[in-house]
Amino acid sequence: MNKNEIYEVLIEDISNDGEGIGHFEDKNGSGKIVVFVKDTAVGDYVKIKLIKCKKKYAFGKLIEIITPSLYRVAPVCEKAASCGGCAMMHMSYEKQLEYKFNKVKNCLSRIGGVKDVEKLMEPIYGMKEPYHYRNKMQFPVGLDKEGNVTIGFYAGRTHSIIDLKSCAIAHPVNDFIVKNLRQWLGKWQEKTGTFIYNETTNKGLVRHILTRVGFTTGELMVCIVINGKKYPDEACEKELIEAVEKSVNEYNNSKNKADLTISLESLCYNINTENTNKILGKKGGVTYKNGFISDYIGDVKFNISPMSFYQVNPAQTKVLYDKALEYAELSKDEVVWDMYCGIGTISLFLAKNAKKVYGVEIVPQAIEDAEVNAKINNIDNVEFICGKAEDVKIKEAADIVVVDPPRKGCDSALLDTISNMNPKRLVYVSCDPATLARDVAYLRDKGFNVQKVSVVDQFGHSTHVETVVALHRTGM
Ligand code: SAH
């Protein structure tokens, strides 16, 4: 096969990055080739042009949809194809859920070697309403070739900014914030010439706009990430506060009566002067009101600062944690170890049904937040330990262990430690089914077997999947 050749293919599956997967017979006799095609849905019959060729696979550009898939829908967002955020918005939500369920099923059976896995899996927990579900947004800011302000999202796999008027998965107050801050940014860019950050030169002040909304409290945080210590002058700061307050008022006036009223509780800045892909720097401060907002998951209250990790989909987080609680089968007598505990969300959620919960987390700031969160909820049967989960000193024997690692999964040293702790049950919360499956296979050799699996969709229209697995020590 060669670049620029044209083929017709049927899209049979979706890759981890959301690209359609099909096959074609190489015209030049190299046999069957796998091809990845962006913006296609399972069931599409398409004409493609090859843009990159490897030995056994290729990447194709969609030229024409000859017969559309039955699962194809018109994306709610007109920028869906170019924006890196929603890779599957052109597929019906039901089909997205089926894809996610199958992804977990295939990983657990192929990589994890779990037999009859489908019998252990509950039906996937999809969202009631897969729009406007995100409580956190991070908008990069830049200038286009004509010098106009752009705020929005990075295009898939690049750092060019897709300018955005409205985001279908964000809380709708964001549309007003983006609109009013675009004006503020434009005015001060005109005045100073260096107000907007340029990634290539590492010059200019404003880099990102971060927002968070407490979905039960209505409290709003806006955090401006700046390449410097402060704004040009007080007028600039005052106009920022006015622009955000105006956005809140406009939103509240436009919303349905039953929707939550939003109030600005925290306007912060974060200083990031490094030439880096990381959004946040280490230091910051408060411009107006508080340095944090509050929100609830179930009846547990959390204070959230700009740097804290907090799940982005509150409604589905509740579903996920309820599953973790159910799979832990607590009766108030158990000692629980919550590894990778972040700001203590799962630890505090489980505490009311446990004798004692130990939370272990590597980031000191998160541990400080976790301790504050325990205090504001009057929960005193938790203890947080700062350090690597794989190195932690086990103070008290565990009845139950919960792990919620980052995408790379658990360190094998930690899995050995868990095995030596000899808990009755292990609850594994995972954001990557491939590493989950790898760890499940490792744990089977230690006598832990999968009892139940549930997949909870936290990120509608993206390819990400969240899974909870109950493992019991039955094999030894
Ligand atoms: N359970 C929390 C956080 C999960 S995210 C929640 O649901 O909100 C995973 C967490 O693991 C992050 O907070 C990250 O800082 C932490 N982490 C990463 N590597 C770690 C390690 N080796 N030991 C302990 N914690 C780690």
Q: Measured from the CB, is residue 388 less than 6 Å from ligand 1? A: yes
Q: Of all atoms in ligand 1, which is nearest to the CA of residue 360?
A: 24
- Provide the token pair at 54: 């490897």
Portion of the chain with pLDDT greater than 70, in percent: 99
For residue 376, pLDDT beyond 70: yes
**The pLDDT of residue 142:** 95
For residue 401, pLDDT beyond 90: yes
Is 431 considered catalytic here?
yes
Contact 358/382 with Cβ under 8 angstroms?
A: yes
- Provide the token pair at 25: 């017979």
Q: How far is CA 328 from CA 185, 203, 333, 354, 394, in A?
A: 49, 51, 12, 10, 19
- Provide the token pair at 12: 């049979």
Q: What is the pLDDT of residues 166-200, one digit of tens each?
A: 999 999 999 999 999 999 999 999 999 999 999 99
For residue 328, pLDDT beyond 90: yes
For the chain, the helix, strand and coil percentages under 3-state DSSP, each to the nearest 5:
25, 30, 40
Contact 317/234 with Cβ under 8 angstroms?
A: no
Q: Of all atoms in ligand 1, which is nearest to the CA of residue 342?
A: 13
| Nearest C-alpha neighbor of 166 from the set 197, 137, 196 | 137
For residue 462, pLDDT beyond 60: yes
Q: Measured from the CB, is residue 342 less than 6 Å from ligand 1? A: yes
Higher pLDDT, 15 or 150: 150
Nearest CA to ligand 1 atom 10: 340
Q: What is the mean pLDDT of residues 88-107?
A: 94
Q: Measured from the CB, is residue 404 less than 6 Å from ligand 1? A: yes
Average pLDDT, rounded, for the chain = 94
What are the start-end ranges of the E strands in 155-309? 161-163, 206-213, 219-226, 263-271, 283-289, 293-297, 300-304
Q: What is the mean pLDDT of residues 72-86?
A: 87
**The pLDDT of residue 103:** 94
Q: What is the pLDDT of residues 8-29, one digit of tens each?
A: 999 999 887 789 999 999 887 8
For residue 476, pLDDT beyond 70: no
For residue 110, pLDDT beyond 80: yes
**Cα–ligand 1 centroid distance for 308 (angstroms):** 11
Which residues, 6 or more positions from 365, have their beta carbon under 8 angstroms from its beta carbon? 307, 308
**The pLDDT of residue 31:** 85
The C-alpha atoms of residue 105 and residue 101 are separated, in whole angstroms, by: 6
Site to probe by mutation for ligand 1, drawn from 319, 362, 430, 439 as the one with most ligand atoms within 8 Å of Cβ, is 362
**The pLDDT of residue 475:** 55
Nearest CA to ligand 1 atom 1: 341
Q: Measured from the CB, is residue 317 less than 6 Å from ligand 1? A: no
| Nearest C-alpha neighbor of 342 from the set 310, 294, 389 | 310
Q: Of all atoms in ligand 1, which is nearest to the CA of residue 347?
A: 1
Q: Measured from the CB, is residue 247 less than 6 Å from ligand 1? A: no
Q: List the catalytic residue out of 107, 167, 236, 431.
A: 431
User: For the chain, how many helices (H) and strands (E)?
Assistant: 9, 21
**The pLDDT of residue 27:** 81
| Nearest C-alpha neighbor of 166 from the set 257, 242, 269, 83 | 83
HEC sequence for 81-93:
CCECCCCCCCECH
The C-alpha atoms of residue 151 and residue 256 are separated, in whole angstroms, by: 26
The C-alpha atoms of residue 463 and residue 389 are separated, in whole angstroms, by: 28
CA geometry: angle at 346 spanning 326 and 457, to 5°?
A: 70
Q: Measured from the CB, is residue 152 less than 6 Å from ligand 1? A: no
Q: What is the full DSSP assignment across 142-199?
A: EE-TTS-EEEEEEBTTS-PEEE-S--SSB-THHHHHHHHHHHHHHHHHHHHS--B-BT
Nearest CA to ligand 1 atom 22: 388
pTM: 0.91
Instruction: Report helix, strand or coil for 469.
Output: strand
**Cα–ligand 1 centroid distance for 294 (angstroms):** 21
Q: What is the pLDDT of residues 268-318, one digit of tens each?
A: 999 999 999 899 999 999 999 999 999 999 999 999 988 888 899 999 999
**Cα–ligand 1 centroid distance for 372 (angstroms):** 17
**The pLDDT of residue 81:** 80
Q: Measured from the CB, is residue 431 less than 6 Å from ligand 1? A: no
Q: Of all atoms in ligand 1, which is nearest to the CA of residue 310?
A: 8
For residue 111, pLDDT beyond 70: yes
Q: How far is CA 261 from CA 208, 215, 244, 354, 439, in A?
A: 25, 10, 15, 35, 44
Q: What is the pLDDT of residues 342-361, one digit of tens each?
A: 999 999 999 999 999 999 99
Q: Measured from the CB, is residue 366 less than 6 Å from ligand 1? A: yes
Q: Of all atoms in ligand 1, which is nearest to the CA of residue 411?
A: 22
Q: Measured from the CB, is residue 113 less than 6 Å from ligand 1? A: no
**The pLDDT of residue 418:** 95
Q: What is the mean pLDDT of residues 363-391?
A: 94
Nearest CA to ligand 1 atom 3: 342
Q: What is the pLDDT of residues 248-265, one digit of tens each?
A: 999 999 999 999 999 999
Nearest CA to ligand 1 atom 21: 388
**Cα–ligand 1 centroid distance for 304 (angstroms):** 16
The C-alpha atoms of residue 177 and residue 171 are separated, in whole angstroms, by: 11
